């Protein structure tokens, strides 16, 4: 049996959808991107949705539109995909890392306020693996210090907090449609915002800073004249082929999310008796989107002193599973320990103990909507067998 970490779900509707732009010949950002954006707004209840080429470019546009500049500081979690911090670096500003809560893998709100100083301009909470960060206190602190908030909602499609969808709390929210996410357009991203000026500016920045879109120009009178370019923009557009794909994935979204949730809850039940594995937590008032099913391997209380040893055993378990045909992954990485940040800022893992523990002890199990009961039972039994086989 071969069980990948995830599988895209494409049916005949997706196959047909991607052909439509090819038939009309209009393949750059156009009507299907617009349709996808409208569906995304309808689902998330965001005021506006702006599609981009991926989530990293969505984040980059957001911080550029908010005026991030050299000398500024932005608080980001110490356990996240490296893009969250990278976009701050792109602007010549400095990411300030905040440690995480080991139960949720999200920003530890109790550590946030201490990191704020006169250079701090914003905070970028990440809704990791489909669980929202604790947005109420984050928004309160942001308001108190007049900070903007960009939600890194790359993993958070289908994630809700106190009745609101991820990406609708901060100034912007940024989503990813990479194939490891619940719905996919190959590569793809989306910005959500309730600010009209950020919507207008983001639409322009994704398109070289243009004052109107190619489609608008091509369908208007005097389309031979170029748009105005008053901003330093980028080419971060989504193609209409991806828009058509995203639009059909949106039509399937309820089913995809329901299946992911059903399977995640089945894992919860199957693994409940394992004292050495913490399954994903879902606090009161949260709906988990289950972009990934990420557990914490903790055969004993993890500390900086024993983490290397526990990590060796986690990796040995993952290796055995790989040999059995079961793909697993570490949850994500701790940017504070990647060469670029560690070298540039002289960061040490001990400064971010929980991020360090999460990097070395997180364990993502396979999850995809078409996963069968037999596959899931096989993961469960092989995981148990691998734990036993690595006992010393
Ligand atoms: C938390 C987080 N932020 C940003 C990204 C970047 O998304 P993309 O690959 O669409 O640029 C990812 C992708 O995995 C992510 O997990």
CA nearest neighbour of 134 among 170, 186, 158: 170
pLDDT in tens, 94-129: 999 999 999 999 999 999 999 999 999 999 999 999
Instruction: Give the pLDDT confidence score for residue 360 in this predicted structure.
Output: 98
Using an 8 Å Cβ cutoff, are 176 and 189 in contact? yes
State the distance from the centre of ligand 1 to the C-alpha of 223, rounded, in angstroms. Answer: 36
Q: What percent of the chain has pLDDT over 70?
A: 100
Nearest atom of ligand 1 to the alpha carbon of 58: 11
DSSP 159-179: -EETTEETTSSSSEEEEE-ST
Quote the pLDDT of residue 235.
Answer: 98
Determine the pLDDT at residue 253. 98
The mean of the pLDDT values for the chain is: 97
Residue 222 pLDDT more than 90?
no
Over the stretch 230-273, which tens digit does the pLDDT of each residue have?
999 999 999 999 999 999 999 999 999 999 999 999 999 999 99
* 221 has pLDDT over 90: no
pLDDT at position 392, please?
Answer: 84
User: Ligand 1: which of 55, 57, 79, 85 to mutate, most ligand atoms within 8 Å of CB?
Assistant: 55
Quote the tokens at residue 312. Answer: 């060796």
> pLDDT confidence of 370, banded at 50, 70, 90?
very high
- Provide the pLDDT for residue 220: 86
pLDDT for 1 beyond 90:
no
Give the three-class secondary structure for 135.
helix
d(CA 99, CA 112): 9
Average pLDDT over residues 286-297: 98
CA of 392 to the centre of ligand 1 (A): 37
CB 41 within 8 A of CB 227: no
Contacts of 336 (CB under 8 A, 6+ apart): 78, 97, 342, 347, 349, 351, 352, 355, 356
Residue ranges lining ligand 1, Cβ < 6 Å? 54-56, 80-81, 83-84, 126, 152, 154-155, 176, 178, 189, 332
Q: Judge whether 257 and 289 are in contact, CB under 8 Å.
A: yes
Confidence (pLDDT) at 309: 98
């Amino acid at each position: 049996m071969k069980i990948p970490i995830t599988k895209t779900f494409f049916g005949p509707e997706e196959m047909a959808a991607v052909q439509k732009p090819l038939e009309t010949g209009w393949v750059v950002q156009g009507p299907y991107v617009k349709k996808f954006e409208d569906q995304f707004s309808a689902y998330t209840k965001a005021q506006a949705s702006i599609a981009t080429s991926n989530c990293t470019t969505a984040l980059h546009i957001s911080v550029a539109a908010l005026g991030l500049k050299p000398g500024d500081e932005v608080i980001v979690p110490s356990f996240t995909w490296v893009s969250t911090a990278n976009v701050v670096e792109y602007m010549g500003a400095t990411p300030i890392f905040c440690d995480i809560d080991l139960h949720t893998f999200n920003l530890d709100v109790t550590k946030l306020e201490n990191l704020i100083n006169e250079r701090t301009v914003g905070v970028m909470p990440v809704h990791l693996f489909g669980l929202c960060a604790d947005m109420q206190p984050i928004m309160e602190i942001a308001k108190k210090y007049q900070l903007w908030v960009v939600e890194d909602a790359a993993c958070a499609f289908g994630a809700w907090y106190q009745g609101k969808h991820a990406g609708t709390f901060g100034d912007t929210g940024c989503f990813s449609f990479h194939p490891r996410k619940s719905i996919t357009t190959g590569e793809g991203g989306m910005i959500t915002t309730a600010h009209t000026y950020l919507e207008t500016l983001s639409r322009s920045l994704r398109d070289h800073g243009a004052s109107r879109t190619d489609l608008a120009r091509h369908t208007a009178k005097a389309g031979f004249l170029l748009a105005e370019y008053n901003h330093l923009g980028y080419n971060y557009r989504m193609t209409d082929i991806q828009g058509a794909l995203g639009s059909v994935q949106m039509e399937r979204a309820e089913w995809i999310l329901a299946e992911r949730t059903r399977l995640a809850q089945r894992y919860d039940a199957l693994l409940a008796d394992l004292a050495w594995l913490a399954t994903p937590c879902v606090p009161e008032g949260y709906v988990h989107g289950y972009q990934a099913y990420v557990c914490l391997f903790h055969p004993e209380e993890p500390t900086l002193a024993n983490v290397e040893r526990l990590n060796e055993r986690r990796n040995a378990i993952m290796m055995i599973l790989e040999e059995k045909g079961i793909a697993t992954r570490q949850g994500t990485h701790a940017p504070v320990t990647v060469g670029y940040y560690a070298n540039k800022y002289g960061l040490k893992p001990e400064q971010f103990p929980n991020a360090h523990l999460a990097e070395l002890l997180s364990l993502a199990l396979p999850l995809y909507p078409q996963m069968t009961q037999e596959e899931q039972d096989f993961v469960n039994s092989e995981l148990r067998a691998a734990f036993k086989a690595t006992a010393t």
